[in-house]
Structure 1
Amino acid sequence: MNQNFDIIIVGGGAAGFFTAINIVEKNPTLKVAILERGSEVLQKVRISGGGRCNVTHACFEPNELVKFYPRGEKELRGPFHQFGAGDTIEWFEKHGVALKIESDGRMFPVSNSSQTIIDCFLEATKKLGIAVLTGQSVQSIFKQESFWKIETQTENYLCEKLVLATGSNPKVWEMLQNFGHAVITPVPSLFTFNIKDVRIKELPGVAAQATVKVKDTKLISSGPLLITHWGMSGPAILKLSAWGARILHDKNYQFTIFVNWLNDADSEEVEKKLKDLKQEHAKKSVSKKSPFELTNRLWESLVLASGIEAETKWADLSKIQLTNLINQLVNGTFQVNGKSTFKEEFVTAGGIDLKEINFKTMESKLHKNLYFTGEIVNIDAITGGFNFQNAWTSGFIVANTI
Structure 2
Amino acid sequence: MSNYDVIIVGGGAAGFFAAINIAEQNSHLKVAILERGNSGLQKVKISGGGRCNVTHAEFIPSELVRNYPRGEKELLGPFHQFMTGDTIEWFENKGIALKIEEDGRMFPVSDSSQTIIDCFLNEAQKYKVEVLYNHSVKSIKHVNDMWQLDTNQGGFASEKLLIATGSNPKIWRLIESLGHTISKAVPSLFTFDIQDERIKDIPGVVALDVDVKVVDSDLWSEGPLLITHVGMSAPAILKLSAFGAIELAKRDYNFDIEINFVKQSYEECIEQLKQLKHNLAKKTVLKSAQFELPKRLWRKLVLASNMTNETRWADLSKSQTEQLASQLTKAVFKVTGKSTFKEEFVTAGGIDLKEVNFKTFESKLHKNLYFAGEILNIDAITGGFNFQNAWSGAYIAAKAITLSS
Length-normalised TM-score, structure 1: 0.99
Q: Which amino acid aligns with 1:22?
A: N
**Which residue of structure 2 aligns with residue 129 of structure 1?**
128
- Counterparts of 1:3-402 in structure 2, within 5 Å, are 3-208=2-207, 209-262=209-262, 264-402=263-401
The Cα of 1:271 is off from its aligned counterpart by 1.4
The Cα of 1:138 is off from its aligned counterpart by 0.5
Q: Distance in 2 between matches of 1:31 and 1:64?
A: 38
Q: Distance in 2 between matches of 1:144 and 1:31?
A: 20
Task: Tell me the alpha carbon deviations over residues 252-289 of structure 1, each in whole angstroms, 9 at most, x when there is no partner.
Answer: 11111101111x21122221221111111111111012
Q: Which amino acid aligns with 2:216?
A: D
Q: Distance in 1 between matches of 2:280 and 2:365?
A: 71
Q: Which amino acid aligns with 1:132?
A: V
Q: Distance in 2 between matches of 1:125 and 1:176?
A: 26
Residue 225 of structure 1 aligns to a residue whose secondary structure is strand
Q: Which amino acid aligns with 2:90?
A: W
Q: Distance in 2 between matches of 1:319 and 1:36?
A: 66
Residue 197 of structure 1 aligns to a residue whose secondary structure is coil
Q: Which amino acid aligns with 1:235?
A: P
Residue 172 of structure 2 aligns to a residue whose secondary structure is helix
Q: Distance in 2 between matches of 1:389 and 1:43?
A: 17
Q: Distance in 2 between matches of 1:292 and 1:392?
A: 41
The Cα of 1:202 is off from its aligned counterpart by 1.3
Residue 5 of structure 1 aligns to a residue whose secondary structure is strand
Report runs of 4+ in structure 1 exceeding 3 Å deviation: none
Q: Which amino acid aligns with 1:182?
A: T
Q: Distance in 1 between matches of 2:63 and 2:295?
A: 37
Question: Please, which runs of 5 or more residues in structure 1 have no aligned partner?
Answer: none
Length-normalised TM-score, structure 2: 0.98
Q: Distance in 1 between matches of 2:77 and 2:311?
A: 60
Q: Which amino acid aligns with 2:361?
A: M
Residue 269 of structure 1 aligns to a residue whose secondary structure is helix
Number of aligned positions between the proteins: 400
Q: Distance in 1 between matches of 2:147 and 2:269?
A: 66
Q: Which amino acid aligns with 1:84?
A: M
Q: Distance in 2 between matches of 1:326 and 1:351?
A: 44
Q: Distance in 2 between matches of 1:275 and 1:284?
A: 14
Q: Distance in 2 between matches of 1:181 and 1:27?
A: 30
Q: Which amino acid aligns with 1:238?
A: L
Q: Distance in 2 between matches of 1:169 and 1:291?
A: 48
The Cα of 1:180 is off from its aligned counterpart by 0.6
8 A contact 1:165–1:372 mirrored in 2: yes
Q: Which amino acid aligns with 1:367?
A: H
Residue 355 of structure 1 aligns to a residue whose secondary structure is helix
8 A contact 1:55–1:109 mirrored in 2: yes
Alignment identity in percent? 63
Q: Distance in 1 between matches of 2:312 and 2:288?
A: 12
Q: Distance in 2 between matches of 1:365 and 1:243?
A: 27
Q: Distance in 2 between matches of 1:224 and 1:78?
A: 31
Task: Tell me the alpha carbon deviations over residues 89-121 of structure 1, each in whole angstroms, 9 at most, x when there is no partner.
Answer: 000000111000001100000010000100111
Residue 282 of structure 2 aligns to a residue whose secondary structure is coil
Q: Distance in 1 between matches of 2:169 and 2:73?
A: 25
8 A contact 1:194–1:339 mirrored in 2: yes
8 A contact 1:345–1:383 mirrored in 2: no
